[in-house]
Structure 1
Amino acid sequence: MELLNAENSTQLLQAQAHVWNHIFQFINSMSLKCAIQLGIPDIIYNHGQPMTLPQLIASLPIHPSKSKFVYRLVRILVHSGFLAQQNVSYESDQIEEGYVLTNASKLLLKDKSMSVRPFLLFVLDPVFTEPCHCLSSWFQNDSPTPFVTAHGIYFWDYAAHDPKINNNFNEAMASDAQLISRMMINGKGKEVFEGLETLVDVGGGTGTLAKAIAHTFAQLECIVFDLPHVVAGLQGSMNLKFVGGDMFETIPPANAILLKSTLHDWSDEECVRVLKKCKEAISGKSKTAKVIIIDVVIETEKKDCKLIQTQQLFDMEMMVLSTGRERNEKEWTKLFFSAGFRDYKISPILGLRSVIEVYP
């Protein structure tokens, strides 16, 4: 082969390892899903100290014949940064190797307020992984999304008619909102809501973020605005209520509109339509009028390669599930000005995502 003659054998082997690593990357995701479903993070957390492999095996809900395979699962979790090894000392001076949680696996505990466990289980559901197998077919047909290629209908229609998927989606969005609300309310994002009298959370789901905002700012009247089947049966509070409707038709009037992880689900043309409805909703004389967007702003400078890769993976997920995309600042700017807004401010204070304040 010309390639063998032209390249150093070491470089070829490194290239092979790189290819294989990408081929098998899905095993990382599925190993993590398996660990979550078996309850490994919760078992280690509840143990209260480094947990040895025999102790972990004895606590797992597995068939006895599978005990010998647990080490191999744990090993990949350690390599992936979801478990760490730590020595355990006993009174007999015996030292054994145990396992503890990392910051990443602490975010996967079942009953913790900021757990992203529901998001993981939602994204790795076969309903959402199957469309990824249709990517090449989708590029060769006229279907709007790989999800439609796989299932025959749009994701939103699928969720509206499948209670399990609808519930899983709402739980995933709520779990993500828990983390974001903690960062926004207790961090630098708090000032974004100061001085507002009314706020509409468009696409706010079950109201996790809006509830946190309403609780923190007692004077602020909050509305969670989402599709009727999403908000059906949800109960509000003194300064929070739920309203069903269609953001493409009309949005309740307010000082400010909140769009968290909403616009990335839609095409540029659809986003401009939504933003124009937002502009109509804040068209009063309030000096605090603005649209608050919490979404990805793709980095164009390679300051953090890992962050950029995650943003690009999010973008591919949007391409698979919806007509949407993740956008860089230039692409966001084009949307804002096309919808008739005059100015904006981007605050990169949420890791992968930023807070964007858009002014009429």
Structure 2
Amino acid sequence: MEQTKELLQAQTHVGHHIRGNLISMFLKCAVELGIPDAIHAHGQPLPLSRLVSSLPIPQSKAPSLRRLLRLLAHTGFFTIHPDHDSSGEDAYSLTPSSQLLVRSCPTSLASYVIGFLDSRMLSPLQLLSAWYRSEQSATVAEMARGMPVWEWARANPDFNVLFNEATASDTSVVAKVVVTDCKAAFHGLRSLVDVGGGNGMFARAIAEAFPHIKCTVYDLPHVVATIPKSSAVEAIGGDMFEHIPSADAVFLKLIMHMLTEEQCVKILRRCKDAIPKREEGGKVIIVDMVLNSEKEDYMVTEAQLVSDLVMLQATGGKEREEHEWKKIFMEAGFVDCRVTPLGARSLIEVFP
């Protein structure tokens, strides 16, 4: 009896992780259909029939939609309110997780869900075992596409837009947390340059929260050319491996985990050249993952370890434990750092 119980538990464990990928696709479907938006717009629990009427689907799909919602309610994305008015149908409301999937929400993750679950993003993973068996030094993504991920993105403008929208979606949440919970990290700064700052969303959030800080976005020329004009944020084009503009602080959000140790050290040395001494307020502020070796929070640790393998296959980078971060900082000429955990990510202040 004990052996069969263990067998069934093992089968359930394997099946759970197989189904995890399927649940992601069901969630993507709900976001693409606009289900969170429709429920949010209603302002109260939305009956199934009215939900179907508000979506671009035929009424005949109502039973199928109920089955989709039943699963997503089980996984914590919706709350089911049983029939109380004899209409014979359930009604649905949002949970804190699905509130983040409403497109009009300032911290919406809808684009993040759609972008990172796009088939073009996931397809290289089909070659992961082949990559392990090979002598390839290129990444999995490069082996699949014949070119590095950034070159492939530039060659496929529609995917590039999808990817940029996904990362901006994620940035909106992280930016709100950083400017709310990490105000001390920006105390005394007069200027800050956001290196690899993309569309400038994070720099704008910092400028709005701390108007006394002169904020600059520094990224490749073709990237900064797309940034909307702003009186609060300056945009400068250039190559972070060659030069970084001077400022009291250099800001790096989810840049370092895409890079090798050698590349990280090279960029950090450029950062050190760009900032003043510590006693004059100089620092580098990094938002990235610090691997949680203690595994105190299962979901956080899982997110970090998954991200580590995503970086492995996509860019050749990695997520790092605190001692690995400190080794890089020391090699680049920095003497001290301070780590503030923020869920799966951390804010790291690095001092010269």
TM-score (norm 1): 0.92
One-letter amino acid matched to 1:298: L
| Deviation of 1:239 (Å) | 3.9
Give me the whole-angstrom Cα distance separating, in 1, the residues matched to 2:152 and 2:117: 16
Secondary structure of the corresponding residue to residue 329 of structure 2: helix
Aligned to 2:138: 144
Aligned to 1:358: 350
Is the counterpart of residue 97 in structure 1 residue 87 in structure 2?
no
Is the counterpart of residue 174 in structure 1 residue 168 in structure 2?
yes
Give 1:274-313 correspondences, 5 Å limit.
Answer: 274-283=267-276, 287-313=280-306
Is the counterpart of residue 343 in structure 1 residue 336 in structure 2?
yes
Give me the whole-angstrom Cα distance separating, in 2, the residues matched to 1:63 and 1:266: 47
Q: Is the 8 A contact 1:113 1:175 kept in 2?
A: no
Secondary structure of the corresponding residue to residue 61 of structure 1: coil
RMSD: 1.9
Within the candidate set 32, 35, 44, 1:40 is matched to 35
Please identify, of 102-111 and 139-148, the stretch whose mean Cα deviation from structure 2 is larger. 139-148
| Deviation of 1:30 (Å) | 0.3
Secondary structure of the corresponding residue to residue 8 of structure 1: helix
Q: Is the 8 A contact 2:47 2:91 kept in 1?
A: yes
| Deviation of 1:265 (Å) | 0.8
Aligned to 1:154: 148
Aligned in 2, Cα 1:198/1:46: closer, same or farther, shift over 3 Å?
A: same
| Deviation of 1:256 (Å) | 0.5
Secondary structure of the corresponding residue to residue 9 of structure 2: helix
Is the counterpart of residue 219 in structure 1 residue 212 in structure 2?
yes
Give me the whole-angstrom Cα distance separating, in 2, the residues matched to 1:17 and 1:221: 54
Secondary structure of the corresponding residue to residue 215 of structure 2: strand
Aligned in 2, Cα 1:88/1:59: closer, same or farther, shift over 3 Å?
A: same
Give me the whole-angstrom Cα distance separating, in 1, the residues matched to 2:140 and 2:102: 31
Secondary structure of the corresponding residue to residue 24 of structure 1: helix
One-letter amino acid matched to 1:277: R
Which consecutive residues of structure 2, in runs of 5 or more, have no partner in the other structure? none
Give 1:1-360 correspondences, 5 Å limit.
Answer: 8-87=3-82, 89-90=84-85, 97-141=90-134, 142-185=136-179, 187-283=180-276, 287-348=280-341, 350-360=342-352
Give me the whole-angstrom Cα distance separating, in 2, the residues matched to 1:259 and 1:233: 20
Which consecutive residues of structure 1, in runs of 5 or more, have no partner in the other structure? none
Give me the whole-angstrom Cα distance separating, in 2, the residues matched to 1:233 and 1:301: 42
Please identify, of 107-116 and 138-147, the stretch whose mean Cα deviation from structure 2 is larger. 138-147
| Deviation of 1:39 (Å) | 0.7
Give me the whole-angstrom Cα distance separating, in 1, the residues matched to 2:318 and 2:191: 29
Q: Percent identity?
A: 43
Aligned length: 351
Give me the whole-angstrom Cα distance separating, in 1, the residues matched to 2:155 and 2:238: 17
Secondary structure of the corresponding residue to residue 336 of structure 1: helix
| Deviation of 1:358 (Å) | 0.2
Secondary structure of the corresponding residue to residue 280 of structure 2: coil
Q: Is the 8 A contact 1:347 1:355 kept in 2?
A: yes
List, as ranges, runs of 4+ consecutive aligned residues in structure 1 with deviation greater than 4 Å. Answer: 93-96, 283-286
Q: Is the 8 A contact 1:160 1:229 kept in 2?
A: no
Q: Is the 8 A contact 2:199 2:226 kept in 1?
A: no
